[in-house]
Structure 1
Amino acid sequence: MDVRQLEYFLAIVDHGGFNRAATALYVSQPALSQAVQSLERDLGSSLFHRIGRRAVLTEAGRALIEPARAAVRSLQTARARVAAVEELRTGRLDVAAMPSQAVEPLTTMIRSFSDRFPGVSVVIKAAFTARDVVEMVRTGAAELGLLATAGPLPEKEVTVHPVGRQRFVLVAAPDGPFPDKDRVACEELSGHRLIVGQSGTGMRAYVDGLSERGVEFAIAAETEHRVSLLPLVLAGVGVAVVTEAWRGMAEQAGARVLDIEPESSLDIALVSRGELSPAAQQFIACAVR
Structure 2
Amino acid sequence: MDIRQLEYFLAIVDSGGFNRAATTLYVSQPSLSQAIRALERDLGSELFHRIGRRAVLTEAGRALIEPARTAVRSLETARASVASVHELRSGRLDVASMPSQAVEPLTTLIRAFSSRYPQVVVAVKAVFTTRDVIEAVRTGTVELGLFAATGGLPEKEVASLSLGRQRFVLLVPPGDPLAARRSVSGEELAGRRLIVGQPGTGMRAYVDALHEQGVDFTVAAEIEHRVALLPLVLAGVGLAVVTESWRGLARQAGASVLDITPETALQVGLVSRRGLLSPAAAAFLDTARTTRPPSS
Establish whether TM, by shorter chain, passes 0.5.
Answer: yes
- What is the distance in 2 between the residues matched to 1:95 and 1:86? 22
1:97 aligns to what? 97
- What is the distance in 2 between the residues matched to 1:236 and 1:81? 51
Deviation string 1:93-134 (CA, Å, 9 cap, x unpaired) is 000001110111000000111111111110111111111111
Deviation string 1:215-244 (CA, Å, 9 cap, x unpaired) is 111111100000111111111111000011
2:117 aligns to what? 117
1:209 aligns to what? 209
Q: Are the equivalent residues in 1 in contact too, given 2:147–2:270 (CA < 8 A)?
A: yes
Which structure 1 residue ranges, 4+ long, deviate > 3 Å from structure 2? 79-83
Are 1:158 and 2:158 an aligned pair?
Answer: yes
Query: Which amino acid counterpart does residue 282 of structure 1 have in structure 2?
Result: A
1:280 aligns to what? 281
Query: Which amino acid counterpart does residue 224 of structure 1 have in structure 2?
Result: E
Equivalence map 1:261-272=2 (5 Å):
261-272=261-272
Equivalence map 1:133-172=2 (5 Å):
133-172=133-172
1:196 aligns to what? 196
1:242 aligns to what? 242
1:186 aligns to what? 186
Q: Are the equivalent residues in 2 in contact too, given 1:196–1:223 (CA < 8 A)?
A: yes
Q: Are the equivalent residues in 2 in contact too, given 1:87–1:279 (CA < 8 A)?
A: no
Q: Are the equivalent residues in 1 in contact too, given 2:193–2:220 (CA < 8 A)?
A: yes
What's the CA shift for 1:152? 2.8
Query: Which amino acid counterpart does residue 280 of structure 1 have in structure 2?
Result: A
What's the CA shift for 1:81? 6.4
Query: Which amino acid counterpart does residue 117 of structure 2 have in structure 1?
Result: F
Q: Are the equivalent residues in 2 in contact too, given 1:193–1:217 (CA < 8 A)?
A: yes
What's the CA shift for 1:180? 2.8
Query: Which amino acid counterpart does residue 260 of structure 2 have in structure 1?
Result: I
1:224 aligns to what? 224
- What is the distance in 1 between the residues matched to 2:289 and 2:186? 31
Deviation string 1:267-286 (CA, Å, 9 cap, x unpaired) is 11000113211111110111
Q: Are the equivalent residues in 2 in contact too, given 1:96–1:145 (CA < 8 A)?
A: yes
Which ranges in structure 1 are unaligned for 5 or more consecutive residues?
1-78
What's the CA shift for 1:87? 6.3
Equivalence map 1:7-86=2 (5 Å):
82-86=82-86
Q: Are the equivalent residues in 2 in contact too, given 1:87–1:278 (CA < 8 A)?
A: no
- What is the distance in 1 between the residues matched to 2:94 and 2:80? 20
- What is the distance in 1 between the residues matched to 2:216 and 2:151? 24
- What is the distance in 1 between the residues matched to 2:273 and 2:87? 19
Which ranges in structure 2 are unaligned for 5 or more consecutive residues?
1-78, 291-296
Q: Structure 1 vs Structure 2: percent identity of aligned residues?
A: 66
Helix, strand or coil: the match of 1:141? Answer: coil
- What is the distance in 2 between the residues matched to 1:214 and 1:80? 54
- Are the structure 2 counterparts of residues 82 and 132 from structure 1 closer, same or farther at C-alpha, using a change threshold of 3 Å? closer
TM-score of the superposed pair, with normalisation by structure 1: 0.70
| Structure index of larger Rg | 1
State the aligned residue count.
Answer: 212
What's the CA shift for 1:82? 4.5
- What is the distance in 1 between the residues matched to 2:218 and 2:89? 52
Helix, strand or coil: the match of 2:220? Answer: strand
User: What is the root-mean-square deviation of aligned Cα atoms in Å?
Assistant: 1.7
Query: Which amino acid counterpart does residue 241 of structure 2 have in structure 1?
Result: V
- What is the distance in 1 between the residues matched to 2:86 and 2:208? 48
